[in-house]
Structure 1
């Protein structure tokens, strides 16, 4: 029994000495354990550290997206060198125990990856909030729901984020700054679309907002309240021709229509402008009917 115990202690001691011997800088005797490196120049220690010194060759079946990104015509058996890499793998009896199984934490060059190699659920949570990536349905979901029951619903939105820092969707909820906003969408170039809505067939672009302020849509619906049919009521006070002529001469615009100066400073409410235009059309109809009545009387006198 003593012999077995001494053998175990010897193995543990050798393993500990070996793990310390491969350190770039010596570890202080404070209980920290590292693999590959020790105390750095600033005397900062890790409780646990994995140090990669060899290249990591990613096979086609392991990371097709990385190969497509770096080689447009990747063939079967192709590979991609991720550079100097350290990896930590996590597997279980369902995933299998190969390097392409389970989950992986990887640091390649200056890039850090957390990957579920089973292409299933990946959750990042704290308390009751978090983010869930679902590999089966290519969906990203964020919110305050439970993340412990994997969802297989295809109703979850697919979220795509541009690869440049100039593109993106920004939300600010509390700010005293003059640039505070609810939702801000930024596009890298004026020729791009800041917002685009495509029909269910995936072909027709039904709504587009350009960074230059242009908006394209197939149909615009607004509530006009009250709708200008009040012009045809008996108690509506239609200006006389002399009153209308005097108002235009003095103000240089029609009654109830904003002036060019006001529109230049504040813009125009499309719904309100549409209501006013209908009002003017109905007033114009009444003026035409008045002129028609006068013309008819003149014709009868002949």
Structure 2
């Protein structure tokens, strides 16, 4: 086996084993312990985070921040990966902010010169815009780790009535219109709730001894179905201009079901929670003549009430 091939296989082996001895590796690769020691030294210089332990039960161990083995990308795949990560720069806060920045720098640095030149040209020709919010969301990493590891956290949360302490078990986090949200099981309400991450003043692992629930089967796609308070749905039908269709697709969180005509206009036709009628009333008022609400009558009356209040300010 050539040295380069042995080093690549050795890198994948130590990542998989995590803890090992020189003798184990020497036997596996059929080389001398001295050769393995030289190879491990080269891997360490390449960035594989190894450290040694002395004693009868010692050996080598890979730190938690292990290095992944090389992956071969085509030129188009490399460009796609670069811009997928590059698009995240519009978010002021990310659960892996520092890591995404360093990964992007490494990815760009090790590309061939002609591919870097192509990316430099494409930077001025393609972008993925999102709303830039100034509100801080500093605990995204903690929330994401807690949701993956099924841990309970305690937070200080800002509400309309001030601040309250909540103990929650996060389901996950997602971004919508520039804001970060965290669906979670709230031990105070004994039900699932949706929290705005920028309203969390502090988040820390719970120290009160609350046992986490088994929510491994609950995720961002189904958490609403597991709440005890089942929402009441009502049919909503709205005629939309071409601009109205575009606005609905880009601004509504759940992508609505719309029947699109050849000229780009369409009709929104779907069931929505009755508790969100005020939200939809304000949204469709904001669309002006680009939207015409057909049903339900409760939504139309809600819109009329808001408009009457606005008109009263200018009498």
Tell me the TM-score range normalised by the shorter chain.
under 0.3
Q: Computing the radius of gyration over CA atoms, which structure comes out larger, 1 or 2?
A: 1
Q: Which has the higher helix share?
A: 2
Name the structure, 1 or 2, with higher relative contact order (CA <8 Å, separation 6+): 2
Normalised by the size of structure 2, how large is the TM-score?
0.24
